[in-house]
Structure 1
Amino acid sequence: MSSHETAAADNDRATAPGQLTGAAIIVALVSAVSGMLYGYDTGIISGALLQITKDFGIEESWKQVIAASILLGAVIGALTCSYLSEKRGRKGTLLMLAVVFVVGALWCAVAPNPFVLSLGRLVLGFAVGGATQTAPMYVAELAPPKYRGRLVLCFQIAIGVGIVIATIVGATEHIPWRWSIGAAAVPAAIMLVLLLRLPESPRWLVKNDRGDDARDVLERVRPSGYDVDGELAEMEELTRKEQTAKTRGWPGLREAWVRPALILGCGIAIFTQLSGIEMIIYYSPTILTDNGFSESVALEVSVALGVSYLVAQLVGLSIIDKVGRRRLTLIMIPGAAVSLFVLGTLFVTGNSGRDSVPFIIACLVVFMLFNAGGLQLMGWLTGSETYPLAVRPAGTAVQSAALWGTNLLITLTLLTLISGIGVGPAMWLYGLFNVAAWLFVYFRMPDLTGRSLEEIESKLSDGKFRPADFAR
């Protein structure tokens, strides 16, 4: 089957009759729960740190370790689960991760000291990193083409929902931090129960010579009247191409023609973190209280930032295909940079007192809107679009590790950096990172909007992966 025939077949199935099956809806729920756990488990530490600091009597170094331990676990989880999802299956890996989510949440809830708490956060991080690697892939391989985009979208939107819930819980100062962190075990248990009702990925079954099982799965998750035979034949053809490709797996990432995709994916992942998003999510209450703000005000600001993140993501995702990935990112980054430069100036000039509270909050919210609605959308999207089929699992694993690794570095050093140079200069530094991100996008990121995966791979193999090569 040629690429044109494949595209035509995809289009026919995208307009096939029928509604979503119950299994497909449960797939979307699993994606949503895993995304929400990612947002909640990473965001809950923002408000909880204020209580943890009092309970354990810790200083900045321990605060950074507690906040960052989940990120180290995420790096390990992303790399490990790339291997596990290929060897043990997508569903099997997600079942394991659901159990780890439950264990990690309960572990943190009963931790008697900061060391044990950090180890529990490390365990949670493994689940978070593994979920970001496995859940979107599982959903994409089970979802009907007509609904694939919307179902995969559940994961990204749910991250924002998890962050909002975490900030609201954190702002409710009457909820002890042990309860707020341990509560994540409930949705994780729900995720585990939902997964027990779901089948394995048909794509993984085909790759493991279980074509009959793959057919049974497709008949279960596709509506009546759907061309199951055609989709199964496509899976078998793509599997043959992947298994016979000269460039495949982890060794394939070293190929010169793949390198531009790897540079783009990892570069975007790194700049999503250097832009300052995690600094704001994790440490905004700590930064504000350390500079004279009351805890209640700091936590209310955290809620406003969480809501801004979710709203910006919803708006950005609704317009990204109309505006274009590259154009939207180039438009939004300057707004985030300017807000950080203004915020830094307020602190450097001593205008960070009570009279300046509205301006500081406005800068934080504006930053969140421009950052979450632009650059943050690209962090996970580029991995699903840029890598050739035969190296896609390895490429997305490296990209996830780059994202979480940068996040880890920032989280481990931010409070120390602020103690050394001050809040204002730190904000300026992250503003400069946004300038660098804009330059990177301008010179390295082509606009992949509306391009098929086959067309993107063809451009890559022809050595035409610069922005000018994709100009319409």
Structure 2
Amino acid sequence: MARSLVISSENECSEKDSFTERARVWPQVLACVIASLGAFTQGILFSWTSPFIVKIAQDKVNYNISEEEAARLPTIQPLTVLLTSLIFFKLPDIIGRKKTLLLISVPHILSFITAAVARNIYVFYLSRVFSGLANGFLWTALPMYIGEVTCPKIRGLCGTLITSAIFVGQLAVNVVGSYCDVATTSYIFIPVSILFVILFAFMPESPYYYLIKKDYGGARRSLIFLTRKRNVVDDLNNLKSDVDRQMSETGTWKDLVAIESNRNALFCAVFLRMSQSYSGISVFIQYTQYIFLKAGGNVTPQTASIIYSILCVIITLFVTIFVVSKFGRKPLYSNSSALCSVILAVMAVYFYLEEFVPTFDISSLSWLPITSLVTYQVCSCFGVAIIPSVMLGELFSASIKSKAVATMTFVNSGGIFLANATFNFLSSAGGSYAPFLFFSICTGITTVLTRFVVPETKDKTLEEIQMNLKRSA
């Protein structure tokens, strides 16, 4: 990509504590916060299975659904993304990043409505399909949009808004879903999608999209909105130069792997997404109450999931504000993976003792599951949960970005689908401890490989990142 709102060689973005700096970056933060409302709704739908897998399996009055059928629900969304991501990947380049994001409200609302009226498992599956379509739109456009409307100084901070919004959505659905039925919960959240459309309609399109389309007037208006500068001629010329250079490169599917700098970026992105999936983080989001139910203890699964979700939000916001913008991507991801590996191993030991060592009094450790998951969340928020989304908007050149993002959406959904399937298979075949042990081993391997695979992108413009990838190639 280009300079990522370089703003006159980043002068305004590097003048700390100046009123001018705040005045010129707040529109970028505003655009990213409103855009992340789409991620908030997606977080609701992604985590929807946490409170409702158990409810719809136990409610034999309104539904005749087995626990096995309900347990398949989390696999439908990533499978849908897997099958459709390579169909819609051109949308951000054809209609723009902004319009692609606005489109996600349609499948969001359809997902809520079908869940509200569902009385059998197949309508619930359809609801998850709509959720998967929205997820595909979101990951195709949102990291790209945030990466393109922010200056380097705040790009990492704003990039974490995606994960933060998803965790806030997780909290919202766990709270509401614990006290309301499926239909009521769905109708409560539909207005959020409508609010997103209304607010985001007033936000600017990415200036890079305009430059790719040779719409220099549109790019100028976007820059004026995002920087609050009257004279954006220098900024526009800088961005135009970078976009023209990158668009002069061929951008075929073959180039994604044939050109070494693109191949390096792709390998890094695939590594980040697959290692994130096999850290188990997506499994824990979707199966939160189910895991707490299996773990037992003195706290109800509903209460435990709410406490867990509240702490997720608090921790993520703390990390977003005080950690991500101050430390490099590579050490954060490596250290986060190491700590998560240890915690997963502890949980594996707990479940092993519970299931296979009946002579051991597990009641004295009833506090361990929720404590371990919360600690896991603390550690994952420093890297595993956020760095892949941040770097997805940083690694790829303008000429290849839409194809790369589509590929990564495909890889991400495939990773989540396989991680969910692995969790179900290992839980059934080996016991509850088995998936935790497996994820612990995978995350331990990630700790080592991160040091060799992941480049450092902190405080670099998107153009500088491309130049570094070319030099490393």
Counterpart residue identity of residue 357, structure 1: S
Structure 1 unaligned residues grouped into runs of 5+: 465-472
Shift of 1:418: 0.6
Distance 2:25 2:472 in 1: 42
Helix, strand or coil at the partner of 1:94: helix
Counterpart residue identity of residue 180, structure 1: T
- Cα pair distance change 1:80/1:303, threshold 3 Å: farther
Q: How does 1:171-320 map to 2 (within 5 A)?
A: 172=178, 174-223=179-228, 225-246=229-250, 248-257=251-260, 258-292=262-296, 297-317=300-320, 318-320=322-324
Shift of 1:435: 1.2
Do structure 1's residue 322 and structure 2's residue 326 form an aligned pair?
yes
Do structure 1's residue 418 and structure 2's residue 427 form an aligned pair?
yes
Contact 1:448–1:456 (8 Å) recurs in 2: yes
Helix, strand or coil at the partner of 1:382: helix
- Cα pair distance change 1:211/1:453, threshold 3 Å: closer
Contact 1:315–1:373 (8 Å) recurs in 2: no
- Cα pair distance change 1:206/1:274, threshold 3 Å: same
Match of residue 335, structure 1, among 332, 339, 346: 339
Helix, strand or coil at the partner of 1:184: helix
Shift of 1:13: 4.8
Q: How does 1:400-419 map to 2 (within 5 A)?
A: 400-419=409-428
Contact 2:114–2:124 (8 Å) recurs in 1: yes
- Cα pair distance change 1:226/1:144, threshold 3 Å: farther
Contact 2:242–2:463 (8 Å) recurs in 1: no
For residues 257-283 of structure 1, the C-alpha deviation after alignment (integer angstroms, 9 at most, x for no partner) is 122221111111011110111222222
Deviates more, 1:96-105 or 1:449-458: 449-458
Distance 1:156 1:226 in 2: 33
Give the aligned partner of residue 456 of structure 2: 447
Deviates more, 1:175-184 or 1:105-114: 175-184
Give the aligned partner of residue 368 of structure 2: 359
Structure 2 unaligned residues grouped into runs of 5+: 355-359
Question: What is the number of equivalent residue pairs in this alignment?
Answer: 456
Give the aligned partner of residue 51 of structure 2: 47
Contact 1:43–1:166 (8 Å) recurs in 2: yes
- Cα pair distance change 1:38/1:20, threshold 3 Å: farther
Do structure 1's residue 91 and structure 2's residue 101 form an aligned pair?
no
Do structure 1's residue 38 and structure 2's residue 42 form an aligned pair?
yes
Give the aligned partner of residue 117 of structure 1: 124
Counterpart residue identity of residue 366, structure 1: T
Match of residue 74, structure 2, among 67, 75, 78: 67
Give the aligned partner of residue 9 of structure 1: 8
Distance 1:278 1:135 in 2: 19
Shift of 1:97: 1.4
Distance 1:8 1:99 in 2: 35
Contact 2:292–2:304 (8 Å) recurs in 1: no
- Cα pair distance change 1:321/1:44, threshold 3 Å: same
Higher helix share: 1
Give the aligned partner of residue 467 of structure 1: none
- Cα pair distance change 1:69/1:24, threshold 3 Å: same
Contact 1:46–1:284 (8 Å) recurs in 2: yes
Distance 1:410 1:166 in 2: 22
- Cα pair distance change 1:273/1:457, threshold 3 Å: same
- Cα pair distance change 1:186/1:435, threshold 3 Å: same
Question: Relative contact order (C-alpha < 8 Å, sep 6+): which is higher?
Answer: 2
Counterpart residue identity of residue 219, structure 1: I
Helix, strand or coil at the partner of 2:180: coil
Contact 2:154–2:325 (8 Å) recurs in 1: no
* RMSD across aligned positions (CA): 2.8
For residues 232-251 of structure 1, the C-alpha deviation after alignment (integer angstroms, 9 at most, x for no partner) is 222322232132114x2433
Counterpart residue identity of residue 203, structure 2: L
Shift of 1:297: 1.4
Contact 1:72–1:404 (8 Å) recurs in 2: yes
Do structure 1's residue 462 and structure 2's residue 466 form an aligned pair?
no
Counterpart residue identity of residue 324, structure 1: G
- Cα pair distance change 1:421/1:95, threshold 3 Å: same
Helix, strand or coil at the partner of 2:366: helix
Contact 2:292–2:370 (8 Å) recurs in 1: no
Helix, strand or coil at the partner of 1:198: coil
Contact 2:75–2:420 (8 Å) recurs in 1: yes
Counterpart residue identity of residue 196, structure 2: M
Contact 1:157–1:313 (8 Å) recurs in 2: yes
Do structure 1's residue 382 and structure 2's residue 404 form an aligned pair?
no
For residues 214-239 of structure 1, the C-alpha deviation after alignment (integer angstroms, 9 at most, x for no partner) is 3234334442x443212222232223
Q: TM-score, normalised by structure 2?
A: 0.87
Contact 2:57–2:67 (8 Å) recurs in 1: no
Give the aligned partner of residue 357 of structure 2: none
Contact 1:28–1:154 (8 Å) recurs in 2: yes
Match of residue 19, structure 1, among 9, 15, 23: 23
For residues 313-340 of structure 1, the C-alpha deviation after alignment (integer angstroms, 9 at most, x for no partner) is 2343322343322222222222211111
- Cα pair distance change 1:381/1:352, threshold 3 Å: farther
Give the aligned partner of residue 437 of structure 2: 428
Deviates more, 1:25-34 or 1:160-169: 25-34
- Cα pair distance change 1:65/1:424, threshold 3 Å: closer
Runs of 4+ in 1 over 6 A off after TM superposition: none
Counterpart residue identity of residue 279, structure 1: V
Distance 1:146 1:425 in 2: 42
Helix, strand or coil at the partner of 2:166: helix
Distance 2:139 2:418 in 1: 19
Deviates more, 1:271-280 or 1:234-243: 234-243
